Amino acid sequence: MNAIQDWLKRQTWYGTAGDMEHLRRFWHVNFGKRPDFKPNYIVPNMSSIIRCLSGGNGIAVIPDFLSKNELDSGNVKQIWEGYNVIENTLYFGTRKKQCT
């Protein structure tokens, strides 16, 4: 497990300015602690990360539903799902009564 952590830390990482929750959660679930490094590149959003990964080398933790098209087309590849797969539950809501 330490060898995997060391290898991952040596890679070029991409992240977003406002949301590093995906990386922190992935690291905590798989290694039992917070990541002790910061991404090499900070870009505005997840779409920018996917664009950067499609055009070059690097690693990022991205939800699969955001990268499905690029994975299917072969522009990016999944290198590791982790020891424990992370699933997010999304909730949608609306008002019961319409305001008039």
Q: Per-residue pLDDT for the chain (100 aa), expressed as one digit of tens each?
A: 889 999 999 999 999 987 788 899 999 999 999 999 999 999 999 999 999 999 888 999 998 888 899 999 999 999 998 888 888 787 888 888 876 6
pLDDT at residue 100 in the model: 60
Q: Please give the helix or strand (H or E) that residue 69 lies within, else none.
A: helix 64-73
In sequence order, the β-bridge partners of residue 43 are 16
Rounded Cα distance, 90 and 87, in Å: 10
Mean per-residue pLDDT of the chain: 89
Rounded Cα distance, 36 and 71, in Å: 28
> What's 43's DSSP letter?
E
Residue linked to tokens 């300015």: 17
Nearest to 62 by CA among 15, 8, 5: 15
> What's 81's DSSP letter?
-
Whether the CB-CB separation of 59 and 39 falls below 8 Å is answered with no
Q: How does pLDDT run across 28-56, given as a tens digit for each residue?
A: 999 999 999 999 999 999 999 999 999 88
Q: pTM for this one?
A: 0.80
